[in-house]
Structure 1
Amino acid sequence: MNIQALRTAAFKAAGMSLSQSLGRRRLISTVSPRLSKAYDYDGKTKVSIFNTETDMGLMITGYSQYGFRLNNNMVLIGPITVFPRSVLSWNINSFDDINEESLSLFPTLEPKIDVLIIGIGDQNPTPNLTKRIIKFMKKYKTNVEVLRTEQACATFNFLNAEGRMVACALIPPLHISYNENDVLQTKLKQKQLYETD
């Protein structure tokens, strides 16, 4: 079995064709001949996507300029705060509104959170904002990460999957960047992908 045939088998096992894999990283770079037998049997490939498993707590599966989608298919509009098992609306309009008052909920939580992740939209965190937030949360011995919303969502999902006591305060980004893979996945979901001859 040659490498091209192994790739085709790997993509088929993952539920996609080679044409659907455009824009993705290679799943298999090289395969030794003794490992090629692993793809000949059913049930050998298993993919687990954490952010769709609701028993692991709430996770963020998507975001837009308007709000966020969670792994329980709940869609939330505007800025939100996400905890391992609950969600609240966050009453701010932009990252300029982040101050001691807008962060006052987090130090009062029981059990105490280990990490607060703040997603400030699609802008890079400014040193002034970051220092102000860290100084306030340091009084309460809470670690803080100030990130772009995309990075904040991924960090929250990772820490929540590990079972950490984490909270995330998110502002929807003003601009969304996408790549060819995002467009392809959207078309596949909407079943509007054209077949080629």
Structure 2
Amino acid sequence: MQSVRRLQSFLRPPAARSLYSSIVHRSSAYDGDGKTTLSILNLEAESGLLINSYSQVGFRLNNNMVVLGPMAIFPRTVFSWNVASYEDINEESLSLFSVLEPKIDILVVGIGDQPMTPALNKRIIEYMRKYRINVEVLSTEQACATFNFLNSEGRVVAGALIPPVSLRVNEDDVMRTQVAKRQVYELEEN
């Protein structure tokens, strides 16, 4: 049993691991048709590529791939995107998304943590409108969540994401880090 727990610790991210073990390893009194179940989408391979996390240097995907710098992500493929900042987003850098087959339904653009400017937003929307592609211009944090949601729904979506310059840390992040550290020490003791 101990080797199974150790193996599970390598297969799942720390936050999901504790949730997963509490769901899977508890027996319940009710096993009927109306039983509520929970699926963690980022752990399911058939849901395509999803973004697990981002940092100032890049992104980590649900298949444990790390993409350094800006990326163009699709339901099953990811590329490096050759832009240095949101100021480099123009018709040339967006041209990749207009020539794809099958045509994407929506492009989710994550501009890092920079404030959105109406001129940039308008320029991107007008260019993509020529190709009948809907666009959402968001912060990278919101763009990652939006891409994951649309991709898990089976939509033909693409993401054009730039890592943020700075990261916000909240109480939940601090708590998750502390829980993860405790779990590492508990595994070492066993």
Q: With the length of structure 1 as denominator, give the TM-score of the two structures.
A: 0.75
Of residues 70-79 and 182-191 in structure 1, the stretch that sits farther from structure 2 once superposed is 182-191
Shift of residue 42, structure 1, vs aligned partner: 6.5
Counterparts in 2 of 1:13 and 1:54: CA distance versus 1, 3 Å: closer
Q: 1:99 aligns with which of 85, 90, 93?
A: 90
Counterparts in 2 of 1:13 and 1:145: CA distance versus 1, 3 Å: closer
* Matching residue of 1:86: 77
Shift of residue 193, structure 1, vs aligned partner: 8.7
Cα distance in structure 2, aligned partners of 1:93 and 1:77: 12
Counterparts in 2 of 1:69 and 1:180: CA distance versus 1, 3 Å: same
Cα distance in structure 1, aligned partners of 2:80 and 2:177: 28
Give the 5 Å matches for 1:1-197: 15=22, 41=29, 46-191=37-182
Letter in 1 for 2:176: Q
Structure number with larger C-alpha Rg:
1
Shift of residue 14, structure 1, vs aligned partner: 7.9
Aligned-pair identity (%): 60
- In the alignment, structure 1 segments of 5+ residues that lack a partner are 1-10, 17-38
Cα distance in structure 2, aligned partners of 1:169 and 1:175: 18
- SS across alignment from 2:114: coil
Cα distance in structure 2, aligned partners of 1:134 and 1:81: 17
Does structure 2 conserve the Cα–Cα contact (< 8 Å) formed by 1:107 and 1:140?
yes
Shift of residue 15, structure 1, vs aligned partner: 3.3
- In the alignment, structure 2 segments of 5+ residues that lack a partner are 1-17
Higher helix share: 2
* 1:127-180 CA distance string (max 9 Å, x none): 000000011111101001100000000000000011000000000001111212
Q: Over the residues paired in the alignment, what is the CA RMSD in angstroms?
A: 2.5
